[in-house]
Structure 1
Amino acid sequence: MANGKLHLPTGRLIAVAVVAGMIAGALGVYVMGGSSGNNAAQVAVDETSMTAEEKSCAAKQERADAIDGAARGEVAAMMGAKPPRPLQDLKFNSPEGKPMSVADLSGKMVLMNLWATWCAPCRQEMPALNQLQQELGGDTFEVVAVNVDTGGDEKPKAFLEETGVYALGYYRDSTLGLFNDLKRKGLAMGLPVTLLIDEDGCMLAAMNGPAEWASEDAKRLIAAAR
């Protein structure tokens, strides 16, 4: 507990499972639950060397702190960025299969979630992400769930159909480039990883591990970010 805040949803156990086998030459790791040591949203910054984009995002610290304060219960592992940072250059494919980046979502707050069919906690939280999009999705907010399975589209599309996930756009990156980019930035320890990105492409908060995204706790978190 820090500043009166639990960094783990009540009653959840922490476990990290390593998936046997190689996924495109990379060891697959998925994360169960959150962690009080989840500091992926925090990064040391030399303000004198910051770019204009970095300074613009860093100026949103108060907004990130408000999100951090609203992270309770089922989404307690979500941590406000210190400082918020630009992620406009993150690349993946659109539901139409066209190359795009976070910059193309300008004007809309985004809850970006990276998932894979081989990641058990990812599979478990997809219906909740689908419900969150159904209830809150629109012109100003979208759940952008990016599938990172390597290979073809058959397996992830079959999973979405089997589980009745139809409200989410089929965003995709079969190269592991997006995950590896987030890993280099210190934001991804495994899957699932979820980022809250504002309408200017600034990351305000992040977490590793699953959450109950259809919960009232999650809805209050999104409300606090607006």
Structure 2
Amino acid sequence: MRALLPLFAIALVLPACGQQQDAANNDAADDAIGIPVKGVDRGQKGQPAPDAKFLDPDGGEISLADFKGTPVLVNLWATWCAPCVKELPTINAITREHDKDGTLGVIAVSQDMGEQGSVEAFLAKLKVDDLGAYHDPKMALSGALNAQVLPTTILYDADGKEVWRYVGDLDWTSDEARKLLAEVPAAGKG
């Protein structure tokens, strides 16, 4: 009987190892076929910001070209997206920080199809008061950026060229985020 116990234990462990390997293979396969993986993606570096139109907090049309001359961090989010809602307060915090020094514009663009007033009310309810209610009810910006996952946050240099994008949620007040934001290039240096 004692001789069977080690064999039984090995039989239990081997399938678990196979499952871990399968998960790793699935991640590699997902990456190979273009399914976004959470984290930093530098694959679009140097690409110009799209000219897709979305709404500014006053309801007027705007595009990323309107921010040219200042580096800008663009966060794509939605009210129905739990990871988006989780990270919004941290986006709000860095907005406050960078508004003081003027080194980085920060905009969070809602991808909700509802009315802009509902986005304003949602931000007010969360007490996220330093972000304007930018709104893209037609999802033109996320479509032009091929953003397949929300949230997705993209850093553009002052010349309107993509530096990197972060797929998934992140605490934008964390050390990891500070290191990424330290990559903000000045105009003409992208």
Question: TM tier, shorter chain?
Answer: 0.7 to 0.9
Determine whether 1:133 maps to 2:98. no
Largest Rg, 1 or 2: 2
User: How far, CA to CA, are the matches of 1:39 and 1:181 in structure 2?
Assistant: 20
- 2:60 aligned to 93, 98, 105, which one? 98
Pairing partner for 2:130 from 167, 188, 203: 167
Flag the structure with higher helix content: 2
Q: Structure 2: how far apart are the matches of 1:217 and 1:38?
A: 25
Q: Which residue number corresponds to residue 109 of structure 1?
A: 71
Q: SS of 1:108's equivalent?
A: coil
Aligned partner of residue 194 in structure 1, secondary structure = strand
Shift of 1:79: 2.4
**Residues 120-199 of structure 1 correspond to what in structure 2 (within 5 A)?**
120-137=82-99, 138-183=101-146, 188-199=147-158
- Structure 2: distance between partners of 1:223 and 1:38: 29
User: Matched residues in 2 for 1:192 and 1:157: separation?
Assistant: 18
Counterpart secondary structure, 2:42: strand
SS of match in other structure, 2:173: coil
Distance in 1 between residues matched to 2:72 and 2:32, nearest whole Å: 21
Deviating runs (4+, > 6 A) in structure 1? none
**TM-score normalized by the length of structure 2:** 0.72
SS at match of 2:108: strand
Residue correspondences, number? 154
| Mapped partners of 2:182, 2:57: distance in 1 | 26
Q: 1:214 to 1:152 in 2, by over 3 A?
A: same
Tell me the secondary structure at the aligned position of residue 86 of structure 1: coil
| Preserved contact between residue 107 and residue 140 of structure 1 (Cα < 8 Å) | no
Contact 2:52/2:140 (<8 A) preserved: no
User: Which amino acid in structure 1 is aligned with residue 182 of structure 2?
Assistant: A
Q: Report the Cα distance in structure 2 between the residues aligned to 1:216 and 1:39, rounded to whole angstroms.
A: 31
- Alpha-carbon distance in 1 for matches of 2:91, 2:126: 12
Aligned match for 1:37, one of 31, 37, 42: 31
Deviation at 1:98, TM superposition (A): 1.1
Q: Which amino acid aligns with 1:210?
A: D
In structure 2, what is the equivalent of residue 216 of structure 1?
175
CA RMSD of aligned residues (A): 2.5
Report the Cα offset of residue 139 of structure 1: 3.0
CA contact (8 A) 2:69 2:159 kept: yes
Looking at structure 2, the residues matched to 105 and 114 of structure 1 have their Cα atoms a distance apart, in angstroms, of: 16
